[in-house]
Each structure stands twice: as C-alpha cells, then as structure tokens.
Structure 1
Amino acid sequence: MAWYDEAVFYHIYPLGLTGAPKQNDYGEPVHRLNTLLPWVDHIKEIGGSALYIGPLFESVGHGYETTDYKKLDSRLGTNEDLTAFVAYCHEQGIKVIFDGVFNHTGRDFFAFKDIQANRENSQYKDWYCNVNFWGNNEYNDGFSYDNWGGYNLLVKLNQKNPAVVNYICDVIRFWVSEFDVDGIRLDAADVLDFDFMKALRRTANEVKPDFWLMGEVIHGDYSRWVNGETLHSVTNYTLHKALYSGHNDHNYFEIAHTVRRLQNMGTLKLYNFVDNHDVERIYTKLTNKAHFAPVHVLLYTLPGVPSIYYGSEFGIEGRKEYGSDDSLRPALNIEDYKDSVKTNPCTALIAALGKVRQAVPALSYGSYAELMLTNRQFAYARDLDVTRVIVSVNNDDAPAGMHLAAGNCAAYIGALSGEKVSVQDGHINITQPANSGEIWVPEGTDLNVKPVKAQSVNVENTDSINTNIEASSVDTEKATDMVVEDTQSETTKAEDTKAAAPKAETAKTASENTASETTAKESESESTPNATASDDPADPETITVDWSKSPESMTVPELQAAVLAKLSGNGPVDAQMKKTVTDNIWHDSLVNWLKSFR
C-alpha cells in the first residue's frame, strides 16, 4: 500500500489560478506562488490529501514550452518559493506531484538555442527529432524539426538519445533533492517512447520510496502504460467521458459498461476526474445541473484515484471560447470562497466525500461488484475483507426504491445523509432521492462527517466565475414505489450491451494570440438528455460514410462506421474496439463520440 493508493487529489494550474501574465518577459521574479498557500489549507479542509500542480517551470507562455526545467517560472517566483510551498504542503499532510513536460521543449531551451547558433556543429543537434538543416520553418531558422501537434513552438525531444534520457532523469533527481516532490504527471504520455518511460520508472524507484508516475493518456488499453516497468497510473479519460454523458443521456449502462471494460484491463489504479485544465467544467457540461451530486458520488467511490480541478468544487462554469483554454484556467481568490464548505452545497458535498473517502478503506482498496443497473439507477459494492460498502445513485427526477445485497452486518448508515437502514434477509431496502447518491457503510463506521444533501444541487451564476449556490429540494410528489431487484431482469441483461465508453482522440491546438496549449480530448457539445436506441440492423463495416452529412443527421450505423473510420486513422482497430463501437447503439452518444475527433 502506497500513499497514492488512497489519495484524494486536488489539481491546480498555477499560472491561471494566480493570474500570471500570458507571456513571460523573463524579468524579476514575482512571488505569485506564495498566494496559493491558503489554498493548501482549503485542500485539507475539503478532504484532499494530494496536490497535482503544474506546469511550474520557466516557459514562454502557457507553461508547456519549457525554457528551463530547473527554475521556477519567473511569473510564479523563485526556487526558494517552490521549496517552501512543497514543505508547507507536507506539513499539512498533503503530497505534491509536478507536471513533467518531457516530450518537447520550448524554443528558448538551451539545447535548441545552441542549434540555432551552431547549426551542424551543435553538440545538441541530436537532442531533437529529425532536425533537417536543408529545411526551414515560419521562424526562418534555416532548418526544420519535428514538433508536437503541428506547432513549432513545441520542439519534440529525441527520447531515444541517451543524453536526453540522462538529462531528464537528472531533472527528476533535482526536483526531489531541491523541492522534495512526491511524484510526476507526465504530459502527453501517450506519445512518449516506452523505453524512455522505463528509464523514468527506474529513476522514480531510485529517488524516493513510493515516488508516483502518472501519465496523460487519452484512450486505448491503459495496461500498456500502467505496469511494473513504466507508469503507476494514467488519466482515465474513458471514465471521464462516461460520467457526464451517462448522466446527460440518462444512461447508466454506459458508465457500468465503462467500469467493466476498465476492470478487464487488470487491477489498475487510474487517475479519475470529471474536468481539468484542458476540458470544460463539469458544471458546464451537465445538461441537468442537479446531476452534479451523483456524478461526484461516482467519482469518489468507483475504482481509481479521485481528483478535483480547482474551482469545480464551487460549481463554477468554464467553457472553451475562440479556441482558447483561458476560461478553463481562471484566476480565483480563495477569500471569495472562504465559507464555501458551510454555505455552498457543492463544496459541502465535495468536502463530505473527501472525508468519507479517507475514512473508508474499502473505497480505496475494495473489489468492485455491480448490484443493480437500469438507465436511471445504479448500485455497486466495494468489498474489502468482510466489509461491504454499498454505493447507490439515481439520475431520475423522481425517487427510486432499491433492493440491494448487503454485507454481514445488522444495519447500514448513509455516510452522506446519516440515514439508518436495517439489513433484512441479507439485503437493504432504500429509497434513493431524485438526482442523488449515497454511500452506505456498516453501522459503527467512524466517519466524522456531518450530513449533507447529496441531491438536487442548483447553482445560479452571478458572473462567469463567482457563483451563488442554492440547494433545491426533492420533488416528493414524484415519489415512486418502484423497487429494483439486485438480480438483473432479462430486460436489464439485454440492455446491458447497449452502452459503450467512447474514446477520444488527442490533439493540441494553440491560440494565435496567446500561444495557449489546448488539448482537444472530448466532445464539448451538449448531449440530448433523452437519447434513444436504434434498432437499425445494418452492419457499419459495410457502410460508406458520407462525410458531407452532419453527425446529427447520420443514422446509428452511419455513426458507427464513421467512428470506426476515425479510429482506424489512429492505428489498428482490434476486435474489442470494434465491439465497443458496435455495442453502442445510442445515437446521441455516438454523435458526441464522432465529434470528439478533431
């Protein structure tokens, strides 16, 4: 057991949160990082135990065009500021991981500057991929080179060059000795060389016990990256997509199918999230804002390591605008939210979930077993030794009854509501309120959590960032006597194959004005809440796609064929990938999937 196995992460994009200038003039350091110290206290207050912060090091603009891996960005402060910041996090019991941008550097990096000055005579000419002194580029360098995502601002490092590998490994050693960092999130890990990642893992094992390597990976078989030789974890974009679209489409089959598919990859501790610095805010993506509650109950209780992106615990909005990510990375003042745990139901829920997660080991280490599944209700168990914890969620606008197989105890307590239910004939009978979720723990579990409303959260925006929060009540007139058995009906079994976990294609774009880095990892279009399945039996592999048609006007088989065509453009499409596509017969889900390919 390592610290990251039971971590609750908080994610900060520091250049945005501190309101740093978009461009670095490399002037005198401005100590903006120190303004984030109160955020560390906030992280602890809402049950966080680890911080992912970055990018941090000297760069030209958005942070991913590194100029110096060993110097804190001048817009944030000095190395001494960063050392003190990490030390304060550790004093509060919070681990820290940095953003490791090792796939590419900026054009101001010393090795690239040397090539500009010395051309063929540069000792660093092999540090980058395919440097061609017969070529040229828009900067009129008199040579060309491989870049990342089509942008010459990001110069691709040659990860097969031993000198580059040794340099980056020394950077990791420096980060540990200088700043005492606890791990690294590897940017663009899905395009990193595997031998390069193996070298990083050997270095991680050397520098510090339980030093954590987590990689940014969009789709595919995550076990390719997560294993004993490469990384400890990767970003779980597959679950990320399912969590919001499964609610927008009232389709819990999609979420359950996604979890099963991830389970089939092996026992992986994936990094779970509902939003981050590259994708729109969860509150923006949800068609029904009341689904904020069940989405986060799932985030904190499904297998994996949960993470909250700064500000989303307040229910703020964030939508991509004009090809820029700036609105996803706003400057916030923690003083504006100092009472949020008491006054904002979104924050109160996140804080309660964080404390429950820390108090209930089964949520970190327990096995997963599906108990009940319909389009609108979902329940599962997390079993650890003789302890069974039960999670129930409901995306319907009416309460729903559930009959769920319980563990070997006399009664359960709702960790969020405080409600007590007795075990009868090995089951509990509960009524799950509308648009809500609950974590049922054996009576006597030491939680130290005050009851909160994990339902019908409503946020009214007063401007683009700050929000006033109100909780709306459950519509008791819509109460239902329906009881769903934990053994699936034949209808449930038949529908079980209908949902798939669409994958997203990675791409990065840059804003012309700010050179900001944007990773297009998902469809940002709204899903229609009342998606319907199609019975069209056509084989998508026999269909010629008419690319002049809009995704919305395509039939389900046409959409399936289009998705398969897009996937094949990224590499071989195996049988499992084909099955994932053809099993998904939900029109709106396929539309979103197709739109995710940029």
Structure 2
Amino acid sequence: MPAWIEHAVFWHLYPLGFVGADIRPAAPPLPAHRLDHLLNWLDYAVELGASALLLGPIFASATHGYDTTDHFRIDPRLGDEADFDRLVAEAQARGLRVVLDGVFNHVGRSHPFVRDALEHGGSSPKASWFRYTPEGELATFEGHHGLVALNGENPEVEDYVRTVMTHWLDRGIAGWRLDAAYAMAPDFWGRVLPGVRDHHPDAFIFAEMIHGDYAGFVQASGVDSVTQYELWKAIWSALNDKNFFELSWALDRHNGFLDHFIPQTFVGNHDVTRLASRLDDVATLEHALAVLAVVGGIPSVYAGDEQAFHGIKTEGEGGDDAVRPAFPERPQDLWPDGWPIYHRHQELIGLRRRHPWLVRARSKTVLLENTRLVLELADAGRRLFFALNLGGPTSFSVPDARGVLAGRDAHLCGAGHDARLHLAEKGWAVLSTALC
C-alpha cells in the first residue's frame, strides 16, 4: 500500500449532486462548467483536516453517473477536461490528492458498445464484451435494466479497464475506488491491476465490498483495501440499540482484517441514509464520529455529514436524491446549525493526524456492558484509551490514563494506576497514556 495513504483522511463527495446537475435529464444536457463549483470548497476540505478528495463518478453518463457512456470523457454536466485539470491542480496545490470512482463492472445501456451489440447481435465485435442471460438477453447489474454487465472473462475488457485506469492516473489522480468490485471475480482484478501498478506504484486502489470475505478478496484481487461495511453497520446499530456487545464483536472482526490489510472506514457515504438521520438519538452522533477517529483504518467523511446533514435513502428511482443534495456556492452559505459538528470533526481528525499510528491500531476491550465501553487502542507500544457511555452518569477505573485528549462531559481524576474517569450522561472520552 502506498505510504501516503497511512496518513490519509478522505472528504468524499458525489459531484453530480454536489454541483446541482440534473440527474435524470429528459434530453442530452448542454455542456456546463460545474466542476469549478468544487474549487470553492477545497479550502473547506483542508480546514476540515482532509488530505484527499474521494470523488463519485465524473465520466459521461446518461443519468446518475453509474451508467457510464464514455470512460474517457468528463460528463458534460460537470464540464470538460480543462475543468478537470484545473480541479486536480488546485487540489494538489493545497496538498489534496484526488481519487476517482471507477465503474468497471457495467456500463450504461446507451454506451456505444452496448448499442453496437444490440444492433448487430453476435456479429458485433463488442458482443463478447458483455454477459448474457440463459435466454440470450444482455445481463444487467443487480437487475437494473440500464446497467449492462461487462464480461470479466474477456481479455479485451481487462485491457480496456486497465487502459482507463492508467489514463486518468497519468492525468494526475492518486487512485481509484472500484465501484461494486464484488460483481467481478477477484481474479479479474488480479489480472488488471498489476499492469496499472507497473506505471503507478503509488496509486491507492480500493474496492467496494458490502458482504463476503474481505481478506480473501484483497488477497486474490490485489486491491489495497475494501470498504468496511460491517463496522459501519455495527457503529450506528450499537448506538441505536444500546448494545456495545455488537460493536465490540465487529471490532474483533476488524482486528482480524487489520492483520491482512487496512480497511477503508466510514460512517456515511453516497449510498446510505445519512448518519444524523439513521441515529435514533442525535446526541450519539459524536460517539460515532469518535469511533471513526480512533479505530484502525483509512477514514472518509461523506460531504455534509460534517455538518450533520439529514437525508433518508429510499428504494426506487430517485431514492438516493436525499443523500446526494446540491451544496451552496460557498461554505459560508451553509446553515449555521451544522458548524458545531464541523468543529467537532476538526478536533477528532486533528487528534488522529497527531497520532498517525492509529491507522493500524488494534482495539482491545477493557470494559464491556450494554451501555458502557472502554477500548484500548494500541500499535507498536503506543496506546490510547477510548470510553463511551450511553447511560446516566458513571465512573470507572482506567489504569495508565494520563489526560483527556478529546471528549464530552468527561473528567479524569488521578493518574497512572489510580486514574478514574467520570463521564456524564452520554459522555465519551479519548484518553492519553504514558506511551501515547
């Protein structure tokens, strides 16, 4: 894995929604230079503590970006290649790397290769690029008619994906998120990625995985990391159910993953209900953020979550719209109510940046009850303690704790062996040790 990723914190955004583009245009849209809208938010991302931008799909598509029609062209609703080059240059000038979303297991039904296969059938030179149903129809991605599944067994498809990935890395990006990577066999990626890495060994390439054998997929595919959906679910579910046993179990699993790779961690993204809407008690929002800040992994913050945006994902057409909203022209135009959560993000990301070893930290459960949890985070002799409380005021012994690095309604009495932490109702704390 590239060395830079061990210090990375991503600010993740969905460009088409962020800039207010029409997601389902009735006619081919006129070109518009909307990518420049992102320039007004780069300093905001830096001040948040981010070191990289994780962008949703930006290539030409018919609707939401995942029905790609040209992997070599910027979506005209966003702009053109000059707009893209300007965004990358301005981001890099601020120390922000740019990682793109690669949709490589399917294309849009209006993609020229699909049209050729539909028009000429088996005589089309592109017919073998796609998978088919037993009835001879074009196979789709998870039943979506507009998303036609590519054939990962075709060497021409492998070469095409490798060429696309290398092309945009040559243009200045720092890596790829492989959308729905699980839809291709891991050995497909195992054949594609070595050629990409030959040219760009410092590229960070991670896969979207929801269920399955995370470590096995990493080993067989050659990706650097996968999305840690298990931990995402356990965080909000444990907080809602007041059941830290679930979170502790997931963190034990997480430790196992860290033995093989560093997972990509998150508490929100463009495909799920917003954290502020998912949690039953908004007071536990900080608890979730604190978990993200201290556990091992490569964290990302989904744009708007740092302002406690609300939004509920639903099924069907337009079901993602609420979690992919347009952002105002400038950060100064945001509603004032979200800034306290932004500042809390700054504090927690700052803590993580001051303790970069947390990227590989394993967690050990020191105290476990339904509503109380104390973890020891450790790596190579360095340690922090992390305490969460979902009940009323409480106190407990935390030997070797030296001070409160971050928290809410937390007070540490004594030090070393006699240290005792007091947490108010729904308090939490990150605690230093003699060897933090």
CA distance in 1, matches of 2:383, 2:413: 14
Which residue is 1:127 aligned to? 129
Q: Secondary structure at the match of 1:415?
A: strand
Using a 3 Å threshold, how does the CA distance of structure 1 residues 149 and 219 change in structure 2: closer, same or farther?
same
Q: Select which of 243, 246, 251 maps to 1:251.
A: 243
The aligned runs of 1:92-171 (5 Å cut-off) are 92-130=94-132, 144-171=137-164
Which residue is 2:20 aligned to? 19
Q: Please list the CA deviations of residues 333-380 of structure 1 after superposition, one character each: whole Å capped at 9, or x if unmatched.
A: 153556889972211111111111111123223332222111111111
Which residue is 2:369 aligned to? 374
Using a 3 Å threshold, how does the CA distance of structure 1 residues 334 and 238 change in structure 2: closer, same or farther?
farther
* Identity fraction in percent: 31
* Structure 2 residue runs without a partner (length 5+): none
Q: Select which of 430, 436, 441 maps to 2:421.
A: 430
Bigger drift between 248-257 and 24-33 goes to: 24-33
CA distance in 2, matches of 1:423, 1:383: 22
Q: Please list the CA deviations of residues 190-213 of structure 1 after superposition, one character each: whole Å capped at 9, or x if unmatched.
A: 121222111232134223232111
Using a 3 Å threshold, how does the CA distance of structure 1 residues 361 and 151 change in structure 2: closer, same or farther?
closer
Which residue is 2:3 aligned to? 2
Which residue is 2:279 aligned to? 286
Which residue is 2:211 aligned to? 219
Q: Select which of 393, 400, 404 maps to 1:406.
A: 400
Give me the TM-score of the superposition, normalised by structure 2.
Answer: 0.92
Structure 2 residue 175 is matched with structure 1 residue 183: yes
Bigger drift between 302-311 and 420-429 goes to: 420-429
Q: Select which of 307, 318, 327 maps to 1:314.
A: 307
CA distance in 2, matches of 1:321, 1:215: 24
Contact 1:412 1:423 in 2 (8 A): no
Give me the TM-score of the superposition, normalised by structure 1.
Answer: 0.68
Shift of 1:83: 1.6
Q: Which amino acid aligns with 1:17?
A: F
Q: Please list the CA deviations of residues 504-546 of structure 1 after superposition, one character each: whole Å capped at 9, or x if unmatched.
A: xxxxxxxxxxxxxxxxxxxxxxxxxxxxxxxxxxxxxxxxxxx
Contact 2:37 2:329 in 1 (8 A): no
The aligned runs of 1:45-84 (5 Å cut-off) are 45-84=47-86
CA distance in 1, matches of 2:191, 2:230: 27
Using a 3 Å threshold, how does the CA distance of structure 1 residues 444 and 271 change in structure 2: closer, same or farther?
closer
Which residue is 1:236 aligned to? 228
Which residue is 1:269 aligned to? 262
Tell me how large the CA RMSD over aligned residues is: 2.4
* Structure 1 residue runs without a partner (length 5+): 136-142, 446-598
Bigger drift between 54-63 and 4-13 goes to: 4-13
- Higher-Rg structure is 1
Shift of 1:422: 6.5
CA distance in 1, matches of 2:413, 2:78: 54
Contact 1:190 1:216 in 2 (8 A): yes
Which residue is 1:35 aligned to? 37
Which residue is 1:326 aligned to? 321
Shift of 1:242: 0.7
Q: Please list the CA deviations of residues 435-473 of structure 1 after superposition, one character each: whole Å capped at 9, or x if unmatched.
A: 23222224798xxxxxxxxxxxxxxxxxxxxxxxxxxxx
Shift of 1:91: 1.4
CA distance in 2, matches of 1:365, 1:17: 32
CA distance in 2, matches of 1:151, 1:342: 38
Q: How many residues align?
A: 431
